[in-house]
C-alpha cells in the first residue's frame, strides 16, 4: 500500500540516494529474484570505496586502513586502538550510546579522525545522542593485530562488509526492482493513491483504515512511515508523547551528469566518503 499513484512510489527515492541492494535474508532475496529472475537483469559489482582524508584517498573501512594515513595519524590511531582494547577487557556493561561504542571499538584517535566528524555530517546529531543497537555488521570493528601488521608492512586491508560485492539493475535503476516486485503480486493486493493512503492503524485489532474508507486486516505489518507518523496514525497518546524525544535529519541529493569518460583520478571507485569540514557533502556516488 502506498499513497503515491504508481509503483515504485517512494522506494524509487533510493535511486536518488545511490543506495544498493544487499541482503542476507532469504525471504527478501527470493522476492527480488522472483521479480528479476534473469542473470541479464543485473550487473554484479565489487565495492571499491574510499575516504577522503587530508588530501588523499584512504580505502574504506577507514579503521582497517590506518596504514594509509600520515605517520602522525597512524600513531594517534594505534594508541587509541590499544587503549580501547585494554579497556574492553575490563568493561562489564554494554556501550550506552554510539559514541561509547566508537571509543570501545576504535579508540579516540579514529573517533576524532573519522567516526565522529563523518557521522555528524550524516546524521546531524552528535554520536553521544545516538544509541548503538542498530550497528550490527554495519560498522567494521577492527582487528588490532591485523591493523598493526598492515601498518608495519604499509599494506591496505582487503574488502569488508555485507556489501563488499553487490548487484544493481541492468535497466531502470533501483526503482525498476520495485516496479517488477509489484508485478508479482495479485492486483487486488496492491493499493496506490487514496486507495493506499493510511488514515489510521488499529494495532490492537490488527486493522488499517485507508483513505477510501476501506479497512484491511493484517497479521504482520511492515511500515515505512516515519515513526512519529505511524504513532500518530495509531492514535496512541502514550506513544505519541514518546516520539517527541526523537530527532530526525534531512539531506539534499544532487545528481550531476557529465559527458565523456571517467577521469583517471576517479578510476574504478564506486562511492566516496568525505568526513572533513572543508566540503559540505558527506558522500559521492559514481554511477557510471
Burial class (CB in 10 A: 0-12, 13-18, 19+), 109: buried
Q: What is the residue whose three cell numbers read 565522529? A: 116
Query: Is the distance from CB of 11 to CB of 174 less than 8 angstroms?
Result: yes
pLDDT band at 41 (very low <50, low <70, confident <90, very high): very high
Residue 14 — pLDDT band, cuts 50, 70, 90?
very low
**Torsion angle in degrees (nearest 10) through CA of 57, 59, 62, 66:** -80
Query: Stretch 219-232: mean pLDDT, rounded?
Result: 91
- Global pTM reads 0.82
Distance of CA 118 to the CA centre of its chain: 13
Q: What is the mean pLDDT of the chain?
A: 86
Residue 287 has pLDDT above 80, yes or no: no
* Each residue's pLDDT tens digit, 108-153: 999 999 999 999 999 999 999 999 888 766 666 778 888 899 899 8
Strand partners, 202: 207
By three-state DSSP, how is residue 110 classified? Answer: helix
Q: Which DSSP category does 225 fall into?
A: S
* 140 vs 64: CA distance, rounded Å: 8
Per-residue confidence at 7, pLDDT binned at 50, 70, 90?
low
Query: What tens digit of pLDDT does each residue of 259-272 get?
Result: 888 888 888 888 89
The reported pLDDT for the residue numbered 209 is 94
User: What is the model's pLDDT at position 117?
Assistant: 97
User: Which run of H or of E encompasses 81?
Assistant: helix 71-90
Give me the mean pLDDT over the 33-46 stretch.
90
Q: How far is CA 131 from the centre of its chain?
A: 15
Q: What percent of the chain has pLDDT over 70?
A: 89
Q: Tell me the pLDDT band of 212, cut-offs 50, 70 and 90.
A: confident
Q: Which pLDDT belongs to residue 271? A: 86
Amino acid at each position: 500500500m502506498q499513497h503515491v499513484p504508481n509503483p515504485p512510489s517512494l522506494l524509487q527515492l533510493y535511486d536518488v540516494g545511490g543506495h544498493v541492494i544487499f541482503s542476507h535474508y532469504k525471504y527478501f532475496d527470493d522476492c527480488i529474484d522472483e521479480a528479476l529472475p534473469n542473470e541479464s537483469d543485473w550487473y554484479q559489482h565489487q565495492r571499491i570505496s574510499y575516504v577522503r582524508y587530508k588530501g588523499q584517498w584512504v580505502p574504506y573501512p577507514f579503521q582497517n586502513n590506518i596504514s594509509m594515513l600520515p605517520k602522525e595519524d597512524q600513531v594517534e590511531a594505534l594508541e587509541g586502538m590499544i587503549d580501547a582494547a585494554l579497556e574492553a577487557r575490563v568493561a562489564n556493561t554494554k556501550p550506552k550510546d554510539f559514541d561509547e561504542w566508537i571509543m570501545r571499538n576504535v579508540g579516540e584517535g579514529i573517533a576524532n579522525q573519522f567516526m565522529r566528524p563523518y557521522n555528524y555530517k550524516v546524521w546531524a546529531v552528535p554520536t553521544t545522542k545516538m544509541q548503538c543497537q542498530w550497528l550490527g555488521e554495519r560498522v567494521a570493528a577492527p582487528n588490532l593485530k591485523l591493523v598493526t601488521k598492515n601498518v608495519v608492512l604499509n599494506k591496505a586491508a582487503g574488502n569488508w562488509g555485507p556489501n563488499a560485492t553487490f548487484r544493481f539493475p541492468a535497466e531502470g535503476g533501483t526503482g525498476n526492482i520495485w516496479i517488477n516486485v509489484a508485478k508479482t503480486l495479485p492486483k487486488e493486493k496492491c493499493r496506490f493513491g487514496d486507495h493506499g493512503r493510511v488514515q489510521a492503524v488499529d494495532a490492537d485489532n490488527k486493522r488499517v483504515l485507508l483513505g477510501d474508507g476501506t479497512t484491511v486486516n493484517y497479521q504482520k505489518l511492515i511500515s515505512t512511515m516515519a515513526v512519529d507518523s505511524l504513532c500518530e496514525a495509531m492514535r496512541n497518546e502514550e506513544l505519541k508523547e514518546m516520539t517527541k524525544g526523537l530527532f530526525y535529519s534531512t539531506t539534499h541529493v544532487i545528481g550531476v551528469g557529465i559527458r565523456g569518460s571517467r577521469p583517471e583520478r576517479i578510476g574504478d571507485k564506486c562511492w566516496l566518503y568525505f568526513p572533513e569540514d572543508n566540503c559540505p557533502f558527506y558522500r559521492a556516488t559514481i554511477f557510471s
